[in-house]
Amino acid sequence: MTKYAANAMLATRISFMNSIAQLCEKAGADIDAVRRGVGSDSRIGMSFLFPGAGYGGSCFPKDVRALVRSADSIGYQAELINAVDAVNNRQKRRIFDKISAYFDGRLTDKTIGIWGLSFKPNTDDMRDASSRVLMELLWSAGAKVRAYDPEAMGEVRRLYPNEDKLILCDSAIEALNGADALSIMTEWQEFRSPDFEAIRDVLTHPVVFDGRNLYDPSVLSACGLDYFGIGRGKSIRADS
């Protein structure tokens, strides 16, 4: 019970911040400023306050669901814990929804470059990874994927051995060759300070969908890139 409760608490912080991020998008606020303000409260702290494309891995999803099942088995309705899981599942679609909206729902024959496939940096673990949800939604919509991850390439090949809409690349920049857009799905260190002008020049459409809020929207706009993050107010287009 203690293990389940601890992991559910951390997952709750993430889902809460993802809910606030959606409010920020609609209200025109910036979740990064909100996050820093909330985290400055000593009662709360900064840990697990980063919004993004949803949590994954072997512990949080499994333990949240196990806690819900435990509650169900003894006749207790765990509404809050159920909501944590529901918010996370919905959050994993956010980047796809933004990509689809940008291209007016016309994703057939589009190619999306993806940086980051593991559920978090410094692992090859793809269990419940948000990248899997994005890729599978893109394929269902008729799009292709060019993807790169520093560690998880072998695991992706194992999971999708016969997917003809997936091209795995040897480097981050190679993943953008022939791509219409870039999506960031894992916050690997090597993705934090890229050459934005090179990204702009190689993409067919100069647009970045930042599922981990790695970048400053104003910097990308100045480099001629449209930018769509998580909870960053009104997303920025380069001509705005």
Is 59 a residue of the active site?
yes
Give the residue ranges of DSSP H helices in 130-233: 130-140, 153-159, 196-202, 217-222
* Amino acid identity at 47: S
Residue among 24, 59, 169, 223 flagged as catalytic: 59
Question: Any idea which residue has 């998580």 for tokens?
Answer: 230
Pairing of strands 166-168, 181-184: unpaired
What 8-state DSSP symbol labels residue 183?
A: E
Contact (Cβ atoms closer than 8 angstroms) between residue 192 and residue 150: no
pLDDT per residue rounded down to tens, the chain (240 residues): 999 999 999 999 999 999 999 999 999 999 999 999 999 999 999 999 999 999 999 899 999 999 999 999 999 999 999 999 999 999 999 999 999 999 999 999 999 999 999 999 999 999 999 999 999 999 999 999 999 999 999 999 999 999 999 999 999 999 999 999 999 999 999 999 999 999 999 999 999 999 999 999 999 999 999 999 999 865 566 555
Residue 135's closest CA among 158, 114, 150, 159? Answer: 114
